[in-house]
Copies of this chain bind each other. A is one copy, B any other.
């Protein structure tokens, strides 16, 4: 990593202040580039993997779910947490795609690794493009209620542009998949049809 001497914060100590079911929180004291000290509140998360699954007919499969934290019903690309920070994220991506949609992918290619909230959280989400899809039965976790929704990829891109797919990994994954595939999203559906 290139050094930026006027930029780097140096950790002094890091103390866990909350231990949760999903996340932990620590309070890290750091020395700032100006020599002062400051507190950084850090959320520790195991990371996740997510999949843009596009079939040969040009459809993408999203999952509808209730996200009670922001208080919304969302449409998102299939995704889930890593079982541990050491888990191969491509295996996690394949597992979550299969669990939530039943789809098995012949090809998974890395799109990007996204930091959803680098200002305070360790989480990394690994995004993949899945093609060569074979359907089978979905098998979500017992306490997970998600419904697969297949739609034209072009329509999903229009929804991203209108802010109708607010989940960050979903919007970014769809736009990156479009650029990777070079697919023309036209013909555009008529917004009045939505």
Contacts and interface: CB of A to CB of B under 8 A. Distances in A.
Given A7-B147, A43-B43, A171 B72 contact: no
A102 interface: no
A88 interface: no
A115 B68 contact: no
Given A175-B175, A175-B179, 7 more contacts: A7-B66, A7-B147, A28-B68, A74-B115, A112-B160, A116-B116, A118-B167
Contacts of A116: 116-117, 168
Contacts of A187: none
A55 interface: no
Contact of A41 (B7, B22, B115): B22
B18 A115 contact: no
Q: Which of A119, A161, A166, A175 has the most CB of B within 10 A?
A: A119
B73 A4 contact: yes
Contacts of A160: 112, 176
A144 B162 CA distance: 33
Given A120-B22, A176-B161, A68 B112 contact: no
Interface string A161-189: 10100111101100110011000000000
23 contacts: A2-B73, A4-B66, A9-B66, A17-B20, A23-B41, A28-B68, A36-B142, A36-B143, A40-B68, A42-B68, A43-B43, A67-B115, A67-B118, A69-B121, A70-B118, A74-B115, A112-B171, A114-B166, A117-B117, A118-B167, A124-B166, A125-B168, A172-B175
Interface residues of A, number: 73
A6 interface: yes
A113 B179 contact: no
